[in-house]
Amino acid sequence: MTRRPRATANSRRLVAVTLDEASIGRSGPDVEHERAVAIYDLLEANHFDPANDARGPFKLNLSITGNRLMFDIRRQNDEPVMAHLLSLSPLRRIVKDYYMVCDSYYEAIRTATPDRIEALDMARRALHDEGSELLTERLKDKVALDNETARRLFTLICVLHWKG
């Protein structure tokens, strides 16, 4: 009987995230900045635990193939762990609604009442929560995420859709 190495909290995390330029492409400076911030926030604090594999930390390469996001997960030494295709279709409505509410929120900051701004902020946060919960559910058999990591990963997915 072989024993699975015991995981430590430090080993169940991402230490690098890269975006495949061939499939995702580069954008203008504003979008590139937002992508860099989203990746920085994700790496700053995360819990990322691929199913049946406690030996991390991990690197994540994201690419897009068709309407799916490819998760190429590797150990820090580049040894492959798994590849997973995640359909973006279930997230499309939430991302669209999230951007619509964000646009309204940023417009409201300039002219609206505090009550209106607060209502839009609550709607924005609720959609962000809904997106991160759906992401957690869709990945649950492949990668365990804590709530904050799911929120940060959802932010990154949103930024990948942003055109600036």
Give pTM, 2 decimals.
Answer: 0.85
Q: What's the confidence (pLDDT) of residue 40? A: 96
Dist. CA 89–CA 64, nearest whole Å: 13
Dist. CA 93–CA 134, nearest whole Å: 12
Q: What's the confidence (pLDDT) of residue 8? A: 58
In a domain, 13, yes or no: yes
Q: Are 150 and 132 in contact (CB under 8 A)?
A: yes
pLDDT digits 0-9 by tens, 10-37: 789 999 999 998 888 777 788 788 889 9
Token pair, residue 91, equals 């997230």
Q: Average model confidence (pLDDT) for the chain? A: 88
In a domain, 1, yes or no: no
Q: What's the confidence (pLDDT) of residue 6? A: 47
In a domain, 76, yes or no: yes
Looking at the structure of the chain, the number of domains it has is 1
pLDDT digits 0-9 by tens, 104-117: 998 999 999 999 99
Give the single-character DSSP code of 68: E
Residue 4 has pLDDT above 50, yes or no: no
In a domain, 138, yes or no: yes
pLDDT digits 0-9 by tens, 30-89: 878 888 999 999 999 999 999 977 788 999 999 999 889 999 999 999 999 999 999 999
Domain hosting residue 89, numbered range: 9-161
In a domain, 155, yes or no: yes
Length of the chain: 164
CB atoms under 10 Å from CB of 30, counted, come to: 11
In a domain, 149, yes or no: yes
Residue 5 has pLDDT above 70, yes or no: no
Residue 129: C-alpha distances to residues 120, 132, 140, 152 (Å): 14, 5, 16, 11
In a domain, 79, yes or no: yes
Residue 164 has pLDDT above 70, yes or no: no
Binned at pLDDT 50, 70 and 90, residue 163 comes out as low
